[in-house]
Amino acid sequence: MKTNVLISGGGIGGLTLGLKLAQCNIDVTVVERLPGPSSVYKGELLQPKSLEIFDSLGVSDSVFKNGHIISDLELIELKSAKSEAENSTMSYSILPSRYPYSLMIHHETLKEILREKGEEYPSFHYQSNTVCKKIDGHTVIIEDRETKEAQEIHSDFIIGAEGRSSVTRDYMEVDVKEKKYNHHFLTVTFPRPKEMVKGRIISTYQSFLGLFPLPNDEVRSVYLIPAGEYKTLRKKPISEFHKLYIQMCPDLDGYVNQIEDWKKIQLMVPQKYHADTYVKDHLALIGDAVHTVHPMAGEGMNMAIQDGSILGELLCDMYSAGKLDPANLEWYPKVRKRRVAHQMHLSHLSALVYSYPYRPVGWLRNKSLQRMERDSISHYKQMLNISGLGMWRETLYDRMVQGGVLPIRKDSLTEEEKSNTKFTEIQDYPWKGKEGLL
């Protein structure tokens, strides 16, 4: 069998890329190991840039129909559980986008939307319950997991989108160095009060609870625990878990209690790595296969979508111009690598800020967050950088403002100043400029 582009892995990254290519009439085969939806929790928060990408792919109606919009993130610092709270709010509404908000959607629903849209195009082929076993040059050996029948697929380009454990990455001999953290997360979705519509991060100096409303009056939660504590916790009755949540957020009484069993609660082990190499000859890596990020800033899935979108546009242009020299693939890391590194850095910092259980750390965090909210430049930079719409690095000056050494800047940015901070078309797709494709 022959195809133009073979994508190994039908997660969010692989499906975004597959859909984009199918829309350019490129013959694309997405091979997915799983037979159907997975029960494993993964990323569910879509940042504004991802919403813009899905708009361009013609799936935004379905995404909005199945999603819950989050305009603001409330950051609530309790001196101790049950005490008076100190709040700050970070808002997406200041962003220069037609989507100045984020959106929560069930991971598997989003995959289904992308796959179903892809299947509207005759050049889109999706093979589930099939695993990519081996790569040899331009040939990929796939195996049906039920019949054990193997098949060879010959492909111009091979894209590794298999997530953290990647056959393509191994074939490319690309190493990643994993960084582990001193904490893990418990994560679970359960019913929420109707009025709970904003994202909430509730912390004391010792604990952290993230609450992200989903549609149908559900909420996805993440609760930070010290690494290794999961086994001890699981030995306790489930009511102990309910108590942890209710102490941090009394509104959840009557809701979190509906979780009847530890089996519903998933352990999430954060890690981070960023491979040096994204592309080798006719092979490329996207999403978690090439970078994994701490989930604190909700970036993992968005980074996979943004990879898929940039690489997709590049391959579309290569095919439409008939310029299939694999050296053209190098444009993809040129665009993505710096952006990914910056978002990983921000996520890592957020993780550090919440993961040391000492009073002075909690105090400093609270003070900086409150100043970040009030300092127009810091607030804007933070939201811009997590949104994926642009990149504006923080400076020492910003940190000194946040730390209280320098005064807060109250003047808001003009619309023109904001627009100048967004990625331009030529920054997203530099090969469309003078240098062009080979």
Which residues contact ligand FAD (rule: CB under 6 A)?
A: 8-14, 31-34, 40-43, 45, 131-132, 161-163, 167, 187, 268, 287-288, 295, 298-301, 304
Q: Which among 144, 77, 117 has a CA at the least distance from the CA of 373?
A: 77
Q: Which among 212, 156, 224 has a CA at the least distance from the CA of 184?
A: 224
Query: Toward ligand FAD, which CB reaches closer, 143 or 373?
Result: 143
Query: Toward ligand FAD, which CB reaches closer, 158 or 249?
Result: 158
| Minimum separation from the CB atom of position 187 to ligand FAD (A) | 6
CA 291 to chain centre: 11
**Look-up of token digits 């391959």:** 315
Count CA atoms closer than 13 A to 254's CA, side-chain side: 5
| Minimum separation from the CB atom of position 325 to ligand FAD (A) | 26
| Minimum separation from the CB atom of position 438 to ligand FAD (A) | 28
Please give the structure tokens belonging to residue 333. Answer: 């890391």
Query: Toward ligand FAD, which CB reaches closer, 213 or 295?
Result: 295
Query: Toward ligand FAD, which CB reaches closer, 14 or 96?
Result: 14
The DSSP 8-state label assigned to residue 394 in this structure reads -
| Minimum separation from the CB atom of position 133 to ligand FAD (A) | 7
| Minimum separation from the CB atom of position 387 to ligand FAD (A) | 14
Residue 102: partners with Cβ closer than 8 Å, 6 or more residues away:
45, 46, 47, 48, 51, 69, 70, 92, 199, 298, 387
| Minimum separation from the CB atom of position 252 to ligand FAD (A) | 18
Query: Toward ligand FAD, which CB reaches closer, 299 or 398?
Result: 299
Phi, psi at residue 364, to the nearest 5°? -65, -40
Helix axes 331-355, 376-387, angle to 10 degrees: 120
Whole-angstrom Cα distance, residue 202 to residue 363?
Answer: 14
Query: Toward ligand FAD, which CB reaches closer, 85 or 227?
Result: 227
